[in-house]
Structures are given as C-alpha cells and as structure tokens.
C-alpha cells in the first residue's frame, strides 16, 4: 500500500510538472486515464514554454514524442482546441474545468474556441469567464464579438435569476402579516399561521401535520417613487464591481416606482442611465482602465438629485482618489446635509474581501456617508432598510 501511495503521489507530481519532468521522475508510469489528463494539460500549459521561446517547448515539434517515450505527440493536428475543450470537460471536475477554461482565455488567449457555435454551448458561463472575455474584448476579431456577447448574456441571466428576488422584495415592501396572499412564494411563507390552520389535519398514524392549506403573506405596496444613483468606478481594478453594479442597475430599472441613474467614471464621467436596463450593453460599453477622479463624478451626481430624501446615492469604488479630495468631501457633506441616503461600497476581490483605501473611506464616513463592503444580496437588504 505504501508503494501504491508513493506511485500515486509521483504520478500527481508528474502531471503537475509536465512531461519535461520525465528525466527527474523516470520511474513514474502513468495509466491510461492519467495519460489522457496529461494530454489535456499539456495541450494548454505547454504553451508556457512556447511563449518563453524555451527549447524544451520547441522539442515537441522537433521530436513529436515525449522525452521518455511514454506516448504519442501532442501536435495541434491531433488535439485541436475544440477537441481539447470537449476532453477537458469530461476529464476534470467542474471547478477544475472552470479554472482551466479561464486560463485558456486569460493567459493563453485561446480565442479560436469562440468561433465555434458547438463550443460556445459547452463553455461554463461563469462570472470569471465573463470578466476574462471583457478584459480581452479589445483584442477580439469582429466575428467573435457576437459570440462573446452571447456568453456574457448567459452569465448575466444566471446572476439576475439569483439576485432579482432580493431586489424585488426590497422595493415592493416588507411582508404584511395581516393580509394574506394567494401567490405561493417561499419568501412570503407564514409558517406559524400555516401550522395553526392545518392542525385539524394532524395524522396520528404518521405523527405528522398534513399541510393542505399553506399560508402566504402579502406585501406592502409602495407607490412613492425612489431614485437610485449608482456611481461606479471603472478603473482597471474594478471589473467585478462594474459587472455586478450593471446587473443591479438593470434589476432596479425593471421594478416599479424606481428611477435609476447609472454613472461610470475614471477621470471622466459617462452617464449610462439610458441603457441601465441592458446590463450586457453596459458591460460592453465601459472602458476599463485609466485614472480615478471621484470628486468629478460625485459633483456630477449632485446635479441629478431633485428629491434628496427619496434618493439613494451609492458610490462603488476602491476610494483611490486621484482628483481633489476637498471637493469630494464637500460634495458628500452637501448631500448628507440635504438628507440624501449615502452609501460607499468598497471594492471586493475574488474572495469577497474588501480592497479599498481605508483612510479615504474614513474621511467619507466623517462627512456622513455609510461605508460598507457588501455583496449584491446585502446591498438589496440595505436598500430595503432605507426604503422601509
């Protein structure tokens, strides 16, 4: 058993290090399944040698075989990009496949995959894939841009399906426990009244209450309009925040009694309110990169506020101000004095950890802006607290 364990460990290292470690790991024998894994990994990651101009990478084309003769060559004619994707999807767990898929686009620009409709259907529509494609869009050919749009649309649709109920509940109002609803919605389920109503259906043999009449609460209907101003930093480090902000804007736009103003900024301010309903179009429009002038964006946002007490102003940024700090702070102080509902949402990294300028956030807080690092779900909860 110890030998089997050692062989398995060596095989894993062999797969990690690649076929050019054959000489150092000469005793490793890969089984058929491991050979398939090696072919799939080597097809993608051997490009690391090619990109560096390493002679080891070039030996693949010269010899057409592995260094120790453990199998056939990995020439592109034998394992095309499309075949590789199909094989990788079968070989790897979903989480591993998503990471390998992202490396193919982000690190090795394997954009030939985007030209095949069959491949597009097999790609995992993950937020990470969408962000990678957005970062590559300037280098994509005309015939792949429509395909990129389709992938991003799938990602957006998945996220909207998860987030929309939170925002619907936030805007449409809290539950009214004194009024019943005939619409079966799990979030409005009244378990106390359901139990009380169905006690008469208690089954002694099963020792259970048979639920024949579930009870759901209605919602308080809100008719007074609210304005939500989303002011989004589009500097290079803010891609995740831009994506979720665009999606939140499209959800809010679809709800009654809510007017959405969507601003994106770097050193300039672009008002995308007219397309806030279409988050995919917003994502394909924003130009990530450049400097950051938060003061300029906040000053512009001030001009859009007509009913301060019924306005929510959300600044989504890493708070790395490149403009005038005094002007920024004075604008925030003025809006606070007018009783605008202010929140500063700090940028989050891939692990949902906050990554923003703490000192600047503190200065904004001192001027009356709440500072938080919220996921979209918690942002919806915050909106509900303000409106209620």
The predicted-structure confidence for 143-195, as pLDDT tens digits, reads as follows: 677 778 888 888 899 888 888 887 777 666 555 454 554 445 555 677 788 88
Main-chain phi, psi angles of 326, to 5 degrees: -60, -40
C-alpha Rg value of the chain to the nearest Å: 27
What gap in Å lies between CA 360 and CA 320, rounded to an integer? Answer: 7
What is the model's pTM?
A: 0.64
Question: Which 8-state DSSP code applies to residue 49?
Answer: H
Q: For the chain, how many residues are written?
A: 388
Which is nearest to 278 in space by CA: 253, 255, 250? 250
Give the per-residue pLDDT at 172.
62
What is the helix (H) or strand (E) element at residue 342, kind and residue range?
strand 341-346
Q: Which helix (H) or strand (E) holds 249?
A: helix 239-253
Confidence of residue 66 (pLDDT cuts 50, 70, 90): very low
Q: Using an 8 Å Cβ cutoff, are 332 and 342 in contact? A: yes
pLDDT at 73 over 70: no
Site of tokens 């990169």? 289
- Quick one: pLDDT at residue 61? 43
Q: What is the pLDDT of residue 146?
A: 78
Q: 305-308: long-range contacts at Cβ-Cβ below 8 A with a sequence spacing of 24 or more?
A: 305/227, 305/229, 305/335, 305/338, 305/340, 306/227, 307/227, 308/335, 308/338, 308/339, 308/340
Which of 169-173, 258-262, 315-319 shows the lowest mean pLDDT across its residues?
169-173
Beta strand ranges found along the chain (DSSP E) = 175-181, 202-203, 208-209, 216-219, 226-233, 258-265, 269-271, 311-317, 341-346, 370-372
């Amino acid at each position: 058993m110890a030998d089997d364990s050692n062989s398995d460990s060596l095989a894993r290292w062999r797969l990690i290090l690649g076929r050019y470690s054959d000489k150092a790991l000469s005793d490793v024998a890969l089984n058929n399944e491991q050979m398939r894994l090696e072919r799939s990994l080597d097809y993608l990651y051997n490009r690391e040698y090619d990109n560096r101009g390493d002679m080891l990478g070039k030996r693949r084309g010269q010899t057409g075989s592995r260094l120790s003769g453990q199998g056939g060559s990995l020439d592109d004619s034998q394992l095309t990009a499309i075949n590789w994707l199909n094989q990788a999807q079968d070989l790897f767990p979903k989480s591993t496949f998503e990471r390998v898929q992202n490396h193919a686009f982000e690190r090795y620009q394997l954009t030939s995959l985007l030209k095949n409709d069959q491949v597009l259907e097999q790609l995992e529509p993950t937020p990470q894939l969408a962000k990678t494609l957005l970062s590559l869009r300037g280098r994509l050919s005309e015939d792949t841009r429509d395909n990129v749009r389709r992938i991003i649309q799938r990602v957006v649709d998945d996220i909207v399906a998860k987030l929309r109920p939170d925002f619907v509940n936030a805007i449409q109002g809290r539950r009214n426990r004194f009024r019943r609803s005939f619409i079966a919605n799990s979030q409005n389920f009244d378990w106390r009244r359901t139990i009380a109503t169905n006690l008469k259906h208690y089954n002694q043999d099963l020792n259970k209450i048979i639920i024949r009449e579930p009870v759901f609460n209605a919602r308080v209907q809100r008719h007074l309009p609210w304005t939500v101003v989303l002011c989004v930093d589009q500097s290079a480090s803010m891609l995740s925040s831009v994506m979720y902000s665009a999606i939140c804007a499209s959800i809010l736009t679809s709800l009654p009694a809510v007017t959405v103003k969507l601003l994106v900024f770097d050193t300039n301010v672009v008002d995308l309110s007219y397309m806030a309903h279409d988050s995919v179009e917003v994502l394909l429009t924003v130009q990530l990169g450049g400097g950051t002038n938060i003061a300029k964006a906040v000053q512009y946002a001030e001009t859009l506020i007509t009913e301060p007490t019924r306005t929510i102003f959300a600044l989504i940024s890493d708070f790395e101000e490149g403009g005038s700090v005094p002007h920024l702070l004075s604008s925030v102080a003025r809006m606070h004095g007018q009783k605008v509902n202010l929140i500063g949402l700090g940028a989050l990294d891939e692990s949902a950890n906050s990554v923003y300028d703490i000192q600047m956030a503190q200065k904004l807080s001192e001027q009356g802006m709440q500072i938080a690092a919220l996921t979209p779900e918690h942002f919806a909860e915050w909106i509900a607290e303000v409106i209620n």
